Amino acid sequence: MADDRPVPLDEYPVHQVPLSMKHVATGDRNAYDRCIFHVLDHEGRALLILGLGVYPNVGVIDAHATLRTGDTLHAVRASDALGDDRMRLAVGPLRIEVEEPLRRFRLTCADDALSCDLVWAAGFPALWEPHHLQRRGDRLTLEGRRFVQAGGVSGVIRAGGEEFRVDPGGWTGTRDRSWGVRPIPGEEGGRLAEENPTEGFHWVWCPVRFEDRFLMVITQEDADGYRTLNDATLVRPGDRDRQLGWPRTEIAYRSGTRRPERAVVHLGDPRKPRELEVEILTSSPLAVGAGYPPADDWQHGTWQGRGWVDRRTYDLTAPHPRAAYGVTDHSARFRLDGQVGHGIFEHGSFGRHDPSGFTGFDSVAP
């Protein structure tokens, strides 16, 4: 018989439905609640990605940290049974401490393969992203509520005999917080998946920190260019958030690939058209080490047994075929209105995308 006693979080007035905080309001196995932090230096020497997620209806909590330095990716992944204390954000050697909600976090990974002890401090208020919905036929496959934020980071990162001293002057931090329903492995799509195959997917997610402002751009398009997600918002402390219209991204891909080398995002402020220039510094494919689909060695939400910890080192000069069909996080230098900023240019394009001239899953840049 399942133990259905109250959990510690039930003591607080945070309930949204007449259920214990042990349970979520949906029985969908794909229910999730997770966060991801990016820590990048301004010269492209290092990109750290650290995330943690819970999957209540499959009883799993997991976390990961990856660090790209040069052509090497160091990865530590951990997974365990989800317990009752939802305020303790820790799995194996990985831990996230909320020192001040929406303002200050401590990120630690205490492992010989990759270690870090960092304080992530917000430089700007958190910003809601658009409500994210996806369907396959009549089936709701994704519904996420998300917010994004940027700031500074201080502390230390160690891996592969290297040590990085992190400070807000030379490093930037971004983070994404989301919850809802999102596919995890292990479910057959059935008739709706068979009769509604994915023809194409084109994605840009771009949080940028400048000295006095924060810019967020997000777009998602179908194979024919139909846009299902769209936002460009500029945040300046003490001022109302400014919407910058319909962003349009021109991406220069490396020949024979869909890997971006640089990009320009046209921001449609009717009062003053703007161009956001994107200079790629280094890249970390999320299907390598970080557990995002279509990774073949571990994916989020999958049961690995109790107390599972896995350490990997990847050579990013070697072929990783699955990475081409997943999203990649690129640390980047940005220029807008004469200012230089830093952040993440997250991009994925697979299948047909008519505006880019891609005709199918095997199509690449000339």
- CA 118/CA 152 separation, integer angstroms: 10
Determine the pLDDT at residue 15: 95
The model's pLDDT over 291-317, given as tens digits with 9 standing for 90+, comes to 999 999 999 999 999 999 999 999 999
Q: In this structure, what token pair is assigned to residue 20? A: 């214990």
- CA 182/CA 200 separation, integer angstroms: 18
In a domain, 7, yes or no: no
- CA 143/CA 54 separation, integer angstroms: 16
In a domain, 269, yes or no: yes
Instruction: List, as one string, the DSSP characters of 71-132.
Output: TEEEEEEEEEE--S-TT-EEETTEEEEEEETTTEEEEEEE-SSEEEEEEEEESS--EEPPPE
Instruction: List, as one string, the DSSP characters of 109-121.
Output: EE-SSEEEEEEEE
In a domain, 86, yes or no: yes
The model's pLDDT over 149-190, given as tens digits with 9 standing for 90+, comes to 999 999 999 999 999 999 999 999 999 999 999 999 987 778
In a domain, 363, yes or no: no
Residue keyed to tokens 């073949």: 296
Ordered alpha helix ranges (H), the chain: 190-195
Closest CA to 302 of 310, 291, 294, 313: 291
In a domain, 152, yes or no: yes
In a domain, 65, yes or no: yes
**Domain range for 272:** 30-181+192-356
In a domain, 8, yes or no: no
Q: Kind and range of the H or E element at 35?
A: strand 31-41
The model's pLDDT over 12-56, given as tens digits with 9 standing for 90+, comes to 999 999 999 999 999 999 999 999 999 999 999 999 999 999 999
Q: In this structure, what token pair is assigned to residue 35? A: 């966060």
Into how many domains does the chain fold?
Answer: 1
In one-letter notation, the amino acid at residue 102 is L
CATH code of the domain containing 107: 2.40.370.10
Residues found in the chain: 366
In a domain, 76, yes or no: yes
In one-letter notation, the amino acid at residue 204 is V
The model's pLDDT over 104-158, given as tens digits with 9 standing for 90+, comes to 999 999 999 999 999 999 999 999 999 999 998 888 899 999 999 999 999 999 9
Q: Kind and range of the H or E element at 215?
A: strand 214-221
